Amino acid sequence: MAIKRTSRGFKDISLSFLPHPVTNDLPVLLNERAITRSVRNIVETIPTEKYFDSLFGTDVRDSLFENFTNSTVTVLTDQIRTSINNYEPRVNNINLEVNGKPDLNAIEIVIFFDIVGLDVPTQSFSFIVEPTR
C-alpha cells in the first residue's frame, strides 16, 4: 500500500525579480500561489526553450496558426494534461476547458486542478493565447 504524504508547505520566488519595497528581498510565493505559478510556467513554456530538457512545455502558441477544430481541442488538452502530469507531481485531478475564438485568432484555456497534500479548494487559472502582432 502506498504511503500518503502530507505536505508542510511550498515556497517559490516570484519571477518578476522585483525586490520588496521595504526589505529589498525577493518576494516569495507560498503554497497554492507557488504551485499555480509552476503549472502556468509549464503550460506557457515552448518546447526546446528550457535547456537540457527539450520536452518541457507545450505547443499551445503554435496552435494559433492551425485551423481550430475539435481535433485541435483534443490535441491541446492531451498535451497540456501530459506536460502537467510529467513535470508537476504536486497536482492531480486536472481538468481543462479549451475555447477557440477564430474571429480573434485566439484560444482561451482554463485549467482546474487539485493540490496534493494541501487542504485548499480546487485551483484554477485561465489565459488567452493570441498572436502578438
Per cent of the chain over pLDDT 90 is 17
First to last CA, the chain: 53
Note whether residue 123 is domain-resident: yes
Note whether residue 1 is domain-resident: no
* Cβ–Cβ < 8 Å for 117, 90: yes
* Cβ–Cβ < 8 Å for 18, 10: no
With the C-alpha atoms ordered 107, 87, 11, 32, is the resulting torsion angle positive or negative? positive
The domain that holds 106 is classified in CATH as 3.10.450.40
Note whether residue 39 is domain-resident: yes
Domain limits for position 83 = 24-129
Note whether residue 105 is domain-resident: yes
pLDDT at 110: 94
Note whether residue 80 is domain-resident: yes
Note whether residue 16 is domain-resident: no
Note whether residue 4 is domain-resident: no
**What is the number of domains present in the chain?**
1
Q: Is the pLDDT of residue 7 over 60?
A: no
Helix (H) or strand (E) holding 74: helix 70-87
Task: Find the range with the poorest average confidence among 1-5, 38-42, 58-62, 93-97.
Answer: 1-5
**pLDDT band of 27, cuts 50, 70, 90:** confident
Q: Which residue in 10, 77, 79 sits closest to 46, CA to CA?
A: 79
Note whether residue 102 is domain-resident: yes
Per the confidence metrics, is the pTM higher than 0.75?
Answer: yes
